[in-house]
């Protein structure tokens, strides 16, 4: 431990951590005391230290999701003192540092909560609803073959920028977690925007938005109330402009899509 760098002996914390054995079990908060946590360590490193302490005491460590620990994979989650990914803007939990907390602080740590994100264990929730939404159209279909020249398809700079901003979504689900209605509109809006702004997304444009919204609703996410907490919680700063674009794309597609696979002469 690197507590020696600090003038004081590090942070002493009281943690209330959500513990839940499995999907069916009733969860509850358990209280732990941690001592001498360096303010230089990350939030997840603090949890690592909690787990080492629990293991030493012969208790079950706390399960939580993480992978890259550099803000790019979207695995980490956690609602910290009621805020998805904690108190900082545009920061995933893995990039949150303990210097944001003070000595003697009490911290509540919960999983992302939504009907569509069932809790698997402790702080881990199942976000495969997002994968099923992507599977319904969050891609472009291309024929394989030799790549064409990169500049063969002209794309307006503005569209390229907007699509790039939308593509920054890492699929973490904080937008759902922070939404008072547990809506998934920022995530789906980012995916729809990313592809509908680019020429490569045009062939499947209408089909895509109809199918992805249908899946989103099927998964049991809530209705968007335009409260915009999603944008404030998003570690990638995805703008709610993408939700407006999703609404526009869906409205347009609903009004203009032709019935699929209606053969000539059929009724």
Question: What residue ranges bind ligand FES (CB under 6 A)?
Answer: 66-69, 71-76, 92-94
**Cβ closer to ligand HEM: 119 or 243?**
243
The residue within the footprint of ligand HEM, chosen from 223, 237, 254, 257 (CB under 6 A), is 223
Question: Does 129 sit near other proteins (CB under 8 A)?
Answer: no
Question: Does 172 sit near ligand SF4 (CB under 6 A)?
Answer: yes
Taking contact as CB under 6 A, which single stretch among the options 42-50, 131-139, 171-179, 202-210 is the one that binds ligand SF4? Answer: 171-179
**Cβ closer to ligand HEM: 197 or 246?**
246
251 binding partner (options ligand HEM, other proteins, ligand FES, none; Cβ < 5 to 8 Å by kind): other proteins
248 binding partner (options ligand HEM, ligand FES, other proteins, none; Cβ < 5 to 8 Å by kind): other proteins
Question: Does 111 sit near ligand SF4 (CB under 6 A)?
Answer: no
Q: Indicate the length of the chain as a whole number.
A: 267
Question: Does 235 sit near ligand SF4 (CB under 6 A)?
Answer: yes
**Cβ closer to ligand HEM: 87 or 225?**
225
Residues numbered 175-234 forming contacts with ligand SF4, rule: CB under 6 A: 175, 186-187, 190, 234
The residue within the footprint of other proteins, chosen from 81, 126, 155, 211 (CB under 8 A), is 81
State the SS3 of the chain: CCHHHCCCCCEEEEEEEEECCCCCCCCEEEEEEEEEECCCCEHHHHHHHHHHHHHHCCCCCCCCCCCCCCCCCCCCCCEECCEECCCCCCCCHHHCEHHHCCCCCEEEEECCCECCECEEECCEECCHHHHHHHHCCCCCCCCCCCCCCCCCCCCCHHHHHHHHHHHCCCCCCHHHHHCCCCCCHHHHHHHHHHHHCCHHHCCCHHHHHHHHHHHHHHCCCCCCCCCCHHHHHCCCCCCCHHHHHHHHHHHHHHHHCCCCCCCCCCC
Question: Does 226 sit near ligand HEM (CB under 6 A)?
Answer: yes
């Amino acid at each position: 431990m690197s507590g020696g760098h600090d003038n004081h002996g590090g942070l002493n914390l009281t943690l209330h951590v959500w513990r839940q054995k499995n999907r069916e079990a009733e969860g509850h908060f358990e209280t732990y005391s941690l001592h001498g946590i360096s303010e230089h360590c990350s939030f997840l490193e603090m949890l690592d230290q909690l787990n080492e302490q629990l293991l030493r005491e012969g208790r079950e460590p706390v399960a939580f999701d993480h992978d890259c620990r550099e803000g790019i994979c979207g695995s980490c989650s956690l609602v910290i003192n009621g805020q998805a990914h904690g108190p900082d803007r545009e920061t995933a939990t893995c990039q949150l540092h303990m210097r944001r907390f003070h000595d003697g602080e009490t911290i509540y740590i919960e999983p992302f909560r939504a009907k569509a994100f069932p809790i698997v264990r402790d702080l881990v929730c199942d976000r495969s609803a997002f994968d099923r939404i992507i599977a319904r159209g969050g891609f472009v279909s291309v024929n394989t073959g030799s790549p064409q020249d990169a500049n063969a398809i002209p794309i307006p700079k503005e569209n390229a920028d907007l699509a790039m901003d939308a593509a920054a979504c890492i699929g973490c689900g904080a937008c759902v977690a922070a939404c008072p209605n547990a809506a998934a509109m920022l995530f789906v809006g980012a995916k729809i925007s990313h592809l509908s702004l680019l020429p490569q997304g045009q062939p499947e444009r209408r089909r895509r938005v109809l199918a992805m919204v249908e899946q989103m609703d099927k998964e049991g996410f809530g209705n968007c109330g335009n409260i915009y907490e999603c944008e404030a919680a998003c570690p990638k700063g995805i703008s709610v402009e993408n939700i407006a674009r999703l609404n526009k794309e869906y409205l347009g597609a609903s009004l203009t899509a032709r019935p699929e696979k209606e053969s000539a002469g059929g009724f």
